[in-house]
């Protein structure tokens, strides 16, 4: 079971603030059966550049690896990023360096403003360049974008990632389960930042899905998701 979206690297962003928190986040994930975690620290082009981000990420990962040591009871980590959309990103030469380790999958955080045609075209261009876009926590946008914009976005054929909270929030659970049933979601993530306000909750979300559709469906879903990223 892969958690495709977690701010688990210590001191990288507004996620885990120290190594102890990171290890505890991994322990909690493992307790729910998560065996792979994508470490997707925020990448903001406005105040970062790719080489600097990669250097910081390597260092944070090194500190976490040191703390994890030889333990084999924790999920394995895949290094990635949650890249906030920025104009012109499709023309950035080394954009692929932000893809999930060993894949061509780019976890893209869409902007929290109305998406213009230009924004949608840029996403399309990224996809055409050979990268696979996975749109992070799509549920966060569905209330703020006009319906036709969302439809145009879905038509681009990106992968769709949803957060565990989408299934756990009473207000949105029905919609989450409906989208899951209709095959509109390809990846799930906790988008965990810590152990308290935004904890690793993927396992709890999966329990909700399993209760509704059965474990075979859940198994199939994660097999497909893992197949997409080749793990
Ligand atoms: Fe996130």
CA of 192 to the centre of ligand 1 (A): 7
CATH number for position 185: 3.20.20.140
Q: Which pLDDT score, from 0 to 100, does residue 168 have? A: 97
Q: Tell me the chain's radius of gyration from C-alpha atoms.
A: 17
CA of 148 to the centre of ligand 1 (A): 25
- The candidate with the shortest Cα–Cα distance to 161, out of 211, 117, 120, 106, is 106
Q: Which pLDDT score, from 0 to 100, does residue 207 have? A: 96
CA of 147 to the centre of ligand 1 (A): 23
CA of 215 to the centre of ligand 1 (A): 27
Query: How far apart, in whole angstroms, are the C-alpha atoms of residue 70 and residue 112?
Result: 41
CA of 42 to the centre of ligand 1 (A): 7
User: What is the 8-class DSSP label of residue 157?
Assistant: T
Q: What is the longest distance spanned by two Cα atoms in the chain?
A: 50
* Buried b / exposed e along 75-90 (16+ C-beta atoms within 10 A): bebbbbbbbbbeeebb
* Confidence (pTM): 0.97
CA of 126 to the centre of ligand 1 (A): 20
The total number of structural domains that make up the chain = 1
Q: Which residues pair with 78 in a beta bridge?
A: 38
- Please say whether the beta carbons of 50 and 98 come within 8 A: yes
CA of 80 to the centre of ligand 1 (A): 11
- Reported as a single tens digit per residue, the pLDDT across 136-168 is 999 999 999 999 999 999 999 999 999 999 999
- Reported as a single tens digit per residue, the pLDDT across 71-93 is 999 999 999 999 999 999 999 99
Q: Could you tell me the pLDDT band of residue 229, with boundaries at 50, 70 and 90? A: confident
Residue 159: in which H helix or E strand, if any?
strand 159-163
CA of 82 to the centre of ligand 1 (A): 6
Helix, strand, coil in percent for the chain, rounding step 5: 45, 15, 35
- Please say whether the beta carbons of 191 and 5 come within 8 A: yes
Which residue range is the domain that position 35 belongs to? 2-229
CA of 28 to the centre of ligand 1 (A): 18
CA of 92 to the centre of ligand 1 (A): 22
């Amino acid at each position: 079971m892969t958690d495709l979206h977690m701010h688990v690297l210590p001191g990288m962003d507004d996620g885990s603030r120290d190594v102890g928190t990171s290890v505890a986040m991994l322990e909690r994930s493992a307790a729910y059966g998560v065996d792979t975690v994508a470490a997707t620290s925020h990448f903001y082009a406005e105040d970062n550049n790719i080489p600097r981000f990669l250097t910081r990420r390597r260092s944070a990962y090194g500190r976490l690896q040191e703390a994890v040591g030889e333990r084999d009871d924790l999920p394995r980590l895949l290094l990635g990023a949650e890249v906030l959309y920025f104009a012109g990103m499709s023309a950035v030469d080394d954009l692929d360096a932000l893809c999930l380790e060993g894949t061509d999958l780019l976890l893209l955080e869409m902007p929290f403003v109305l998406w213009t045609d230009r924004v949608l075209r840029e996403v399309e261009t990224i996809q055409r360049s050979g990268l696979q876009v996975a749109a992070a926590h799509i549920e966060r946008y569905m209330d703020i974008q006009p319906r036709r914009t969302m439809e145009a976005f879905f038509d681009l054929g990106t992968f769709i990632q949803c957060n565990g909270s989408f299934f756990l929030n009473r207000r949105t659970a029905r919609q989450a389960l409906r989208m899951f049933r209709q095959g509109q979601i390809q990846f799930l993530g906790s988008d965990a930042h810590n152990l308290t306000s935004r904890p690793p909750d993927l396992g709890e979300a999966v329990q909700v899905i399993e209760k509704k559709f059965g474990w075979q469906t859940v198994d199939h879903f994660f097999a497909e998701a893992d197949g997409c990223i080749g793990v």
